[in-house]
Amino acid sequence: MKLKESLAMIVIGLVIGSLLTLAVVNLWQSPINSTENFPQDTCGDQPSCEMPTSIPEKTQPSIPRIEEFKAEYSRKRWMGYDVFKAHEYYVRALDAYKHGERDEAVKLFEKAVEAVKEADLLPSLPKRDWEITDSNILIDDVPTPHDFVPLGTIYVKSENGYVAYPSNEPRWKLSCFIYVAYGESEEGDVFVYHGKLPFTGEGPHRPRIWLNDEWIYPFPTFYSPLYYDEEKVTVYNYDASHSYIQTLTYDHEKRLWIHEVKPIEGDGPRLKIIGRAMGKTFWMGRWDGPFIIHGITFNKKDIDIWGGFWDIGEMTAELILNGRRYVFKGSFLFDRASHLTYYYDSAKDGGAGAPLEFSCFYLCQDEFCLAVAHTDNPSPFNPPVSPQHQARLNLFMENRSYPLTEFKFWDDGGIQPKIFKLVGRFDGGEIRIVGEPINYWPNRWGVSKGTWWDLEAYRTWGRATIHWTGNITINGKIIEVDAYGIGEFTRYNERLTD
């Protein structure tokens, strides 16, 4: 009898594990995720969100309880209910099962079911229309803690301690808490970092590091929701097992952006980056609007509009890995943007994926930092205002900042460009630079086919670390450019080219 009971328990455990796997996969296939902007990791259209692979519908077993959970989760999520604690339990249940903790997995799954059942509506905010403009480059405010986490304007706070969109505004697609950095050690090691704290309801992210000429992944994957400690001005996420935490803290007085990835207890790989913002902030739009057009949505006749800011400057990074301590010095960019649909009343019904065709990047050297956001419209649709075309040059020696709108940006025309060029004028000077990537992420940008206006066209999304050369002329003085930075791009071609 004991043998039969043991065999029965093993079978039940295996079934539950399989169901949890299917359930989590299917939960992520529901419209919970939309668009990563930089820069951006735009979920659904490229691998940056690192979602599980979908399973063909015909291979999915009919499990009433799992199906009911999925349906109730999706229904309540798009009605504005606070179901994100349920998602957290769900992820933890899957992780427990993977580590052989079947009893714990069942308990966590029961908590997920109960959390969806008992979910209350999230708080609401006054309804409003979002205006758009062709540029916000003249804004030069220093971001406040409210700009970092705009509670009461864009976000509300759950009773569970995390931030979320209000229950009565389903148009929000994506909120970026993205941290990228480029640096070098005294020993000559090159360091590139792509980090993101997933916002509540968005797909997971695994931090990646370029070191010794390859991408490495020393940290686990982190999941929403995004918790917020207002007193410390700190946002944070956990990994699936809650053994690692990643945090981002804003020191408004010193303009420091402090990012850490570390084990909650014990030893393990860890990273700490202290970035100091320099010069004027690059704004896409204040949180009360107007916003600018980030790009044309590829699968629905709509536009992606965004507001927020990038802070850019110098950074020092300390990485503990395999018993070795690395220290890198260089530059960073923190992207704190939010995106929403313009014509559609809900992100569930509006277009998903990376909009076309944007170029967002920065570059720095000792004398300056330059930030650029530019979009070409490859579609036959003419939006109410021109897509984004703005740049800002911060010259540190002169303690001057120059907004740019008179510039031309182009590349070699490939679906994954190998050459980028920018020529522009600003008050008292001009800039001429050429960029060549030293690495890409992914190494080969994933190419997809089809847009709402051309089913045969090709599109892609990717990032690049770029070495820039050229010169900047300011009041007769020439600055030789030998700078590095990181960019995020989408590209569109009617025919596939290298």
- Would you list the DSSP string of 54-94? P--GGGS---HHHHHHHHHHHHHHTTTB--HHHHHHHHHHH
Number of domains composing the chain? 2
Rounded to a whole number of angstroms, the CA Rg of the chain reads: 23
Shared-domain flag, residues 113 and 194? no
**Residue 160 Cα to chain centre, angstroms:** 23
> Domain check: are 466 and 382 in the same one?
yes
104 and 250 fall within a common domain:
no
**Are 243 and 347 members of one domain?**
yes
**7 within domain boundaries:** no
Enclosing H/E stretch for 11: helix 2-29
Using CA atoms, how far apart are residues 331 and 337, in angstroms rounded to an integer?
19
Q: What is the DSSP string of 97-159?
A: HHTT-HHHHHHHHHHHHHHHHTPPBPP--------B-S--TT--PPPPHHHHS-BTTTBEE-T
Residue 114 lies in a domain: yes
Query: Within a domain: residue 405?
Result: yes
Element of type H or E holding 15: helix 2-29
User: Within a domain: residue 30?
Assistant: no
Supply φ then ψ for residue 213, to 5 degrees: 65, 30
Cβ-based neighbour number of residue 175 at 10 Å: 28
Are residue 117 and residue 204 in the same domain, yes or no?
no
Domain identity same for 84 and 227: no
Asked, for residue 184, whether it belongs to a domain, the answer is yes
Provide the pLDDT for residue 480. 98
Note whether 385 and 285 are same-domain residues: yes
pLDDT at 64: 55
Domain co-membership, 245 together with 310: yes
Question: Are 293 and 383 within 8 A, CB to CB?
Answer: yes
Closest CA to 194 of 177, 213, 181, 211: 181
Q: Which of 249, 224, 228 is nearest to 239 (CA)?
A: 224
Q: 218 near 296, Cβ under 8 Å?
A: no
Q: Round to whole Å and give the CA distance between 286 and 142.
A: 11
Whether residues 260 and 351 share a domain: the answer is yes
Note whether 232 and 158 are same-domain residues: yes
Q: How many residues does the chain have?
A: 498
Q: How far apart are CA 390 and CA 125, in angstroms?
A: 31
Mean pLDDT by 10 residues, the chain (498 residues): 40 43 41 35 36 32 61 90 95 92 91 94 94 97 98 97 96 96 97 98 97 96 98 98 98 98 96 99 98 96 97 99 97 98 85 88 98 98 97 95 97 97 95 99 96 96 99 95 98 85
Query: Is 10 a domain residue?
Result: no
Q: How far apart are CA 15 and CA 18, in angstroms?
A: 5
Distance CA 419, CA 412 (A): 6
Question: Of 121, 151, 166, which residue is a domain's last?
Answer: 121
* Phi–psi pair at 473, nearest 5 degrees: -110, 125
Return all residues near 203 (Cβ < 8 A) that are at least 6 apart.
28, 32, 33, 43, 49, 50, 51, 224
Candidates 296, 284, 292, 293; CA nearest to 492 is 296
Eight-state DSSP code of residue 49: G
Burial 178-206 (b: 16+ CB within 10 A, else e): bbbbbbebeeeebbbbbbbbbbbbbbbbb
Q: Is 451 helix (H, G, I), strand (E, B) or coil?
A: coil
The whole-number pLDDT of residue 351 equals 67
- Asked if residue 456 and residue 318 are part of one domain, the reply reads yes
Judge whether 328 lies within some domain.
yes
For residue 229, is it within any domain?
yes
The domain of 439 spans: 132-493
Residues 293 and 370 in one domain: yes
